[in-house]
């Protein structure tokens, strides 16, 4: 069966420096793939290239049979991919409600609208009149997730959603993501928090220096902790 997302030979980087050296990656419909790797290996560059925020210089990004490499981000969003970027990037001077309203403007038809987002994330409803910069880290993360959902994606790219959050808040984020997974959303989850990745992902892939060096079911990865540690460069 053709995967929902099929990335082949993706090459991308920034002025003068190539970061991704030919990445192949599949995300099957309804599955969650965790993308692991040390800082600076190119995980964010990969999700940015899939989303069209960084322009690939070679390779292909095929979503539901449609070539998206080199297309602008808004075209890619309408093809069914949304991103929750690293660092969350909510609009600080705008209220929760205004942050969500901005995302509604060019949305695909589907289950997600502002009331549905408030139902999934009731804390956002309570905070709807508060500005982005008045929110806690966890609330900002929920807002970033809510904004991405309003695009009614079939594939959600999440770039380190647990970054900087207290453990109790990470577990709230985990619950929300588990609900979305149960509903059938496909996810590519970049994480440094192995517990979260292992809890949510069916499969794990590891990046080193702009290349994916391993891909396996999460259970296999967990069962060989020494190898996992070596691949991730942790003591």
Ligand X SMILES: Nc1ncnc2c1ncn2[C@@H]1O[C@H](COP(=O)(O)OP(=O)(O)O)[C@@H](O)[C@H]1O
Query: Where on the chain is the footprint of Mg ion (CB under 5 A)?
Result: 43-44, 86
Give the separation between CA 181 and CA 178, rounded to whole angstroms. Answer: 5
Least distance (Å) from Mg ion to the CB of residue 160?
A: 6
Of the CA atoms within 13 Å of residue 15, those in its CB half-sphere come to 0
| From candidates 7, 10, 27, 42, binder to ligand X by CB under 6 A | 42
Residue 180 has φ and ψ, to the nearest 5°, of -65, -40
Binders of ligand X in range 2-31 (CB under 6 A): 14, 19
Binding flag, residue 88, ligand X (CB under 6 A): no
Q: Supply 99's token pair.
A: 């942050």
Binding at 42: pick from Mg ion, ligand X, none (beta carbon under 5-8 Å per type): ligand X
What is the smallest separation between the CB atom of 13 and ligand X, expressed in angstroms? 7
Please say which residue, 38 or 123, places its beta carbon nearer to ligand X.
Answer: 38
Q: Scanning the structure block, which residue is given the tokens 């987002």?
A: 117
Residue 44 interacting with ligand X (CB under 6 A): yes
From the DSSP assignment, how many helices (H) and strands (E) are in the chain? Answer: 10, 10
36 binds ligand X, rule: CB under 6 A: no
DSSP readout, 58-122?
EEEEEETTEE-TT--HHHHHHTTEEEE-TT----TTSBHHHHHHHHHTTPPSSS--HHHHHHH-H
User: Closest separation between CB of residue 40 and ligand X, Å?
Assistant: 4
Count of chain residues binding ligand X (CB under 6 A): 10
Alpha carbon 200 to chain centroid, angstroms: 13
Nearest residue (CB) to ligand X, 42 versus 153: 42
Query: Shortest gap between Cβ of 45 and Mg ion (angstroms)?
Result: 8
Find which of Mg ion, ligand X, none residue 40 binds, CB within 5 to 8 Å per kind.
ligand X
Q: Does 127 bind ligand X (CB under 6 A)?
A: no
Q: Which of 45, 99, 152, 205 binds ligand X (CB under 6 A)?
A: 45
Residues β-bridged to residue 187: 32, 156
Contact call for residue 43 and ligand X (CB under 6 A):
yes
What SS3 class is residue 201?
Answer: coil
Residue closer to Mg ion (CB basis): 44 or 193: 44
Q: What is the CA radius of gyration of the chain?
A: 17
Q: Which residue number, 150 or 170, has a Cβ lying nearer to Mg ion?
A: 170
Q: Are 145 and 176 in contact (CB under 8 A)?
A: yes
- Which residue's CB comes closest to Mg ion? 44
Q: Which residues bind ligand X (CB under 6 A)?
A: 14, 19, 37, 39-45
């Amino acid at each position: 069966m053709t995967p929902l997302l099929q990335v082949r030979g993706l090459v991308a980087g920034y002025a003068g420096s190539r970061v991704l050296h030919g990445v192949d990656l599949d995300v099957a419909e309804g599955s969650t793939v965790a993308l692991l790797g040390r800082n600076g290996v190119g995980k964010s560059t990969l999700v940015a290239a899939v989303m069209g925020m960084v322009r690939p210089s070679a390779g292909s990004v095929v979503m539901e049979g449609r070539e998206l490499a080199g297309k602008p981000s808004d075209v890619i969003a309408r093809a069914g991919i949304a991103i929750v970027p690293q660092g969350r990037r909510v609009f600080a001077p705008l209220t929760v409600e205004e942050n969500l309203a901005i995302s509604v403007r060019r949305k695909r038809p589907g289950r997600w609208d502002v009331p549905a987002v408030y139902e999934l994330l009731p804390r956002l409803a309570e905070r709807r009149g508060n500005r982005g910069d008045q929110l806690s880290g966890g609330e900002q993360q929920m807002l970033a997730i809510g904004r991405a959902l309003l695009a009614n994606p079939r594939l959600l790219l999440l770039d380190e959603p647990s970054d900087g959050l207290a453990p109790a808040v990470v577990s709230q984020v985990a619950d929300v993501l588990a609900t979305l997974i149960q509903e059938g959303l496909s996810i590519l989850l970049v994480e440094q928090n192995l517990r979260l990745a292992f809890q949510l992902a069916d499969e794990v892939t590891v990046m080193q220096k702009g290349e994916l060096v391993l891909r396996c079911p999460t259970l296999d990865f967990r069962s060989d902790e020494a190898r996992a540690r070596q691949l991730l460069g942790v003591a």
